[in-house]
Each structure stands twice: as structure tokens, then as C-alpha cells.
Amino acid sequence: MKVFLIAGARPNFMKIAPIWKEIKKHPAEFEALIVHTGQHYDYEMSKSFFEQLVLPEPDFYLGVGSASQAYQTAKIMVEFEKMAIEDRPDLIVVVGDVNSTLACSLVAAKLQIKLAHIEAGLRSFDRSMPEEINRIVTDVLSDYLFTTCQDANNNLEKEGIGKEKTFFVGNVMIDSLFSNMEGVNNSLILKRLGLEEKIYALLTLHRPSNVDQKETFLRILEAIEEIQKEIKIVFSVHPRTRIRIKELGLDEKIDSLSNMIVVEPLSYLDFLRLTKGSKFTMTDSGGLQEETTVLGIPCVTIRENTERPITISEGTNVLVGTDTEKIVRECLVVINGGGKRGRIPKLWDGKAAKRIVEKLLEVDSLAGC
């Protein structure tokens, strides 16, 4: 069975790595090919992820680059369709909810190629988020839906997607986390930044709802200004956020925060080391909500909603929105010794990829490919 594994943005690399490794254990049944769309990073910029995750160079590189939602999705579709027609796979595997996921799913459906969605069924129930549209459409088009939690299964059932297509397998992001823990512990990022464990908070921001509107971004920064008076903050700046800071004229505001260290995007292992060593995180990232839950790190999520409610009901996550006072109040709770102490959700055990591949081997319709 020829399988295309699709990756385009940073979180995708961590999700396809354990699947690729597990598929390679079955050379008689699978031929796995990695397709890098270049949605967020060209190959050179993403090379550290491939090296640290022990992935080979991509078999195909589309090089689409950053652009508007419509243009980027369309360009991926055009380039991926050519490839899929010329080197037709038996199965296309997409992960997460980025534009690459939606674009390749549409191509798979129109070419009538079997489609598997890893991390299916997650819902924020906020259709103003581009990712929510990507998730919904991909799930409707998919032949096989692999979920991280029971909430996701329930969402798919309510949307009329048959149970026979849905498989609860766990979280492949956590597979990568567990398998790379030795490398994480060997990272020297804390030493390079002059930090010690638990004396700092980690901050990430990248969602359009937070960084595209000056009023909202300022509310968040006003909260950060108060919090950094109590604890050092490490702000890992997403390339998209860096552009918005300049466009919105917020450089001086950022520079005025004397107890905050601003760092450029980090490698996978260095970023996880920063996460693991932090007292708490402040973020609008989906993946970081999951990783902090497994690591037992309190997570203050600067969003009005989340597609990962299990990180709240079972994990260490708290939603605070973008209200300045609420952000400050929740962070002070953690600084003063509070914060949630959650537990690791069911099947977030480092074996999700194994269950995915086992299920693919079981599916009768794929056995004849």
C-alpha cells in the first residue's frame, strides 16, 4: 500500500514522525512517502525538525510558502493534484487542521483516493477560526478518522459520521513527546538563556484573533506587563506574530517589558525543554495545551474557546480569554503556588501510532490495495 504522509506546518512534523516510524516496521505491507507542502517553512528552515525527529528528507516538496488562506489552499491543491495523479497513492494521511490538511483532503476526495485523518473530531464550535472549517470539512471527506479522545468521537457521531469509520487511538503528538524525552533533557537552552527551572513562564501567541487586531493584542500585552513584574517571561515569537508586531507598531511596547526575554522560533527539543522547565505557560496554541497536560505544567490559554476541552476537564489547562484582568488573575494564582494539577488522558501513552497502523492493517477495504 502506497501511503502519502502530509506535513506542512510545525505541529505536523511531530504528528507524522511516529506514524512514519511505525509504518516502516511493515515494509511488506506499506510504502510510506512524506509530502512536505512548505506551508510555513521551507525545507531548510524545517530541517532541524526532521533531524531531531529522525525523519528522512521529504520524498516530495511543494514549496508553497505563506500566503492568504484561499491562495495557499489553492496552490497546495494545484501542486498536490499533479503529484497524486502522477504517483497515485492508495492512501493519503493528513494530520491536524492546517491549510495543507484541507487542501490535500479535497484533492484526495476528488481523485477518489482513500483518506485518513489523524486528530479527527476536535471542535471549538467557533467557525470564525479557519482551523475549525478545515477540521469539519476534512472529517466529512475522510474514510478513516483517528481520534485523540472520547469527546472527538462524540462530536463525529453528532455530525452523522458513522462509528465504523471512527477509531479512538490516542494522541500521536504525545508519542513524539515521550520518544524524544532524552533529547529534551539534554537540551542546553536553559543554560543559553541563563534560566533555571520554574523561575520563568513561557509565552506563545500566533492566532489571528489575538495578534491581528491591535486592541486585542494590546490587552494581552498589558496583562503580560503586569505578570512580568512577578516572574520572568520567555516569549517565543512565531514568524507571523513578529510581522504583526511590526505592522501594528508594537515594537516599543514589547521592548519596554524589561523582565521578558524574546526569542526567535526554536527547535522542537529546545522548545519542549523550555516548556518542561517553566513554572507555567501562556499560549493560544492547541498542541501546547496537550503537551503541558502530559508534562503536568499549568497552562493559561489566552483564547475564548478550545478544540481540546479534555485538557481542561482532565488536564492542567485554564481558559482566560483576552481580558487583561482575568489573564493577570489566573497567572498570579499559579505564581503564588496554585494552578491546576491534572492527569494524563486515556491512551495518551506514546502508542497511538502503533494503534493507527494496526487499524490500517485490519481494515478489509485497504487490505486489497
> Under DSSP, is residue 365 helix (H, G, I), strand (E, B) or coil?
helix
Determine the distance from the C-alpha atom of residue 95 to the mean position of all C-alpha atoms in its chain, rounded to a whole number: 9
List the grid coordinates of 163. 462509528
CB within 8 Å of 89: residues ≥ 6 apart = 2, 3, 4, 33, 113
Catalytic residue, candidates 40, 117, 206, 238: 206
CB within 8 Å of 345: residues ≥ 6 apart = 148, 149, 171, 293, 310, 314, 315
For 330, the enclosing helix (H) or strand (E) is helix 324-335
Q: Exposed, middle or buried: residue 111 (CB in 10 Å: 0-12, 13-18, 19+)? A: middle
Backbone conformation region of residue 237, classed left if phi is above 0, alpha if psi is from -120 to 50, else beta: beta
Task: Judge contact between 232 and 202, C-beta under 8 A.
Answer: no
CB atoms under 10 Å from CB of 29, counted, come to: 15
**Catalytic residue at 40?**
no
Catalytic residues: 206
